[in-house]
Chains A and B, each alone.
Chain A
Amino acid sequence: MAHNDGDDVHAHAHLHHQPQDLPQVLVIRPPLSFSNFQSQYSHKFQFLKAWESPLPLDQFLTTHANSVQAMLSTVSYPVTACVHCLLPSLRLIVTPSAGLNHIDLDECRSRGIRVANAGNLNSEDVADVAVGLLIDLLRKISAADRYVRQGLWASTGDYPLGSKLGGKRVGIVGLGSIGLEVAKRLEAFGCIILYNSRKEKPFVSYPFYSNVVELAANSDALVICCELNDQTRHMINKEVMLALGKKGVLINVGRGVILDEKVMVWCLVQGEIGGAGLDVFENEPDVPKELFALDNVVLSPHQASLTSESSKALCELLVANLEASFSNKPLISPVMND
């Protein structure tokens, strides 16, 4: 049978890109922007998409993902021990987040599974929103913008005075990558930085408070930048908020569950704290309706890490980690378990 070179090349090229030949990546639930990610990288990986299958998860995993070595996780679907049991060949979990509370790190450690996350990629973006929320709260930017758009400046007159940033004591809860970026920015505004962290950081000169209530008592603003884990769940409770006080303001760019949300709403409505800037909530996308009536809160739909620039860089980082794993090379942004 005669065939020309062109056909051969085409046939071989077609073979090379058969999905079955590509390394498999399990995706149980799609992370944000997954469809973009998928279309961009479908020539590199075969994505096993559990949510698209009519099979219950355990059957899907047993039938289709038995030999899968890599998983792309999402914060909205915790990777539990039971999932691990159904994935005997799993060697790598990549997560498009800095946070790791949706991954059982102990289970991964005992099974020799490596984990890679977003590293410090989003830290600047998150810090920018934390600072933006603080300035908005103290200088009433969103509230004043509402006032102007309602035509009240012309009819009612000047807007009430805000509060100066310079000289304010800002207590940072969690002085990791994000907390350090927040501190660096706020220092330029003349804020005084204090912090609480799991351990004191020997390389910073900011005063350390081992107890978050004491930090709150000595702060005009509390900025929550820590990760969610068993110690930090509801760490910002009534005692902390009352210590922060009636003029104190609270900023949360960590995870909603770090704050006791019911208590915070009560404190805000009662005037026990001066205001809050919140990018995260306990049950996203639900936000306590009582907050909508308040002028001294600024609400943000978990967008602090979501910039076009970071999103693009994150895709590249995830792919680099996957490729490194499949070629038995060191991961680019491995999670170090300490």
Chain B
Amino acid sequence: MDSITVLMTSPMSDYLETQLRDRFNLVKLWTYSSKTDFFKHNSHSIRAVVGNTKIGADAELIDSLPELEIVSSYSVGLDKIDLRKCQEKGIRVTNTPDVLTDDVADVAMGLMLAVTRRVCECDRFVRRGLWPKGNFRLTNKFSGMQVGIVGLDRIGSAIAKRAEAFGCPISYYSRSEKPETNYKYFSNIIDLAVNCQILVVACALTKETHHIINREVIDALGPEGILINIGRGSHIDEPELVSALLEGRLGGAGLDVFENEPEVPEQLFGLENVVLMPHVGSDTVETADAMADLVIKNLEAHFLKKPLLTPVV
């Protein structure tokens, strides 16, 4: 298939890059000095785009690639892909569900434990030589805390299963109730926030869920409440979150995603009750390889006219 030209949008994975180069004619978007330069040289040959959470396939890109047949995303999130345009033009879209579910759920749990039991703060405390001056203060017990999950799809369910092992009662807010679970359903997110101690954002980013965590929700969660975000930065009204934390209206936050990555509001750097991670939810060696393999398999299936493994469109 080395006559087939595939565009990779950003340097998301060395392993994936090697695999693509070995199988296809690989074009790397980031090696071009400008978009115009890129479009001049390649627009008519590219039949596939491999995108990720940074650069996907927006309307402009899709419109400029007349031979585009498939977008295979190195992510489960689809917010960087213009799905409607793909549908209109008959362009297939695949993502990487399931393989990263566990990793993202593990980070959500890690953030919950890190914030409630002050793991990172304690590590700083010891490294700064403060322990000989006096013991660390008492922290809050994590086991048994009420956990509220926004979005009970694969990742949300995986988080629920883990939190249950700590004796945490689970409640959730979702587009629709899931009667097959025993978890308590709230049909509105404010009620969920009022009734839990830790609120976890685990839903997909859509027009409806943009800024779903706003001032009202943060106030409902309250000064003892903890917010965990492993979804997308834009799920949360970030300036509102920052002021709530600075003013003590929210108890703490564990954040793996931000509105303008890799920019993180600097006011958070001085806070002890937050844990900040650079979008590493699915970043393990094992999962990165599994995601890359799935991207390759989807592309090969498409060009061999076989059924796609994980189609979205």
Contact = CB atoms under 8 A, between A and B. Distances in A.
Chains A and B are bound partners: yes
Given A131-B113, A301-B125, A159 B141 contact: no
Interface residues of A, number: 57
Interface stretch (A5-13, A43-51, A163-171, A208-216): A163-171
B126 A142 contact: no
B138 A311 contact: yes
A133 interface: yes
Interface in A126-166: 127-129, 131-133, 135-136, 138-142, 144-145, 147-149, 151, 153-154, 157-159, 161-166
Nearest to A129: B117
B288 interface: yes
Interface stretch (B102-110, B195-203, B295-303): B102-110
A184 interface: yes
Contacts of B179: none
A284 B134 CA distance: 11
A133 B119 contact: yes
A131 B122 CA distance: 15
Interface stretch (B67-75, B215-223, B269-277): B269-277
Given A163-B284, A164-B102, A164-B284, A308 B139 contact: yes
Contacts of A190: 102
B113 A128 contact: yes
Q: Place the interface of chain B in its size category.
A: 35 or more
B264 interface: yes
Interface stretch (A18-26, A111-119, A292-300, A330-338): A292-300
Given A136-B119, A144-B280, A187 B165 contact: yes
Contacts of A307: 117, 138-141
23 contacts: A128-B143, A132-B110, A132-B119, A135-B107, A138-B284, A140-B280, A141-B275, A141-B277, A151-B266, A159-B283, A164-B102, A165-B102, A188-B164, A190-B102, A285-B131, A299-B126, A303-B117, A303-B139, A306-B135, A308-B140, A308-B141, A309-B140, A310-B141
The 5 closest A-B pairs by CB, nearest first: A132-B113, A188-B165, A135-B110, A285-B131, A299-B126
Interface of B: 102-103, 106-107, 109-111, 113-114, 117-120, 122-123, 125-127, 131-132, 135-136, 138-144, 161-162, 164-167, 261-264, 266, 269, 275-280, 283-288
Interface of A: 32, 124-125, 127-129, 131-133, 135-136, 138-142, 144-145, 147-149, 151, 153-154, 157-159, 161-167, 184-185, 187-190, 284-287, 292, 298-303, 306-311
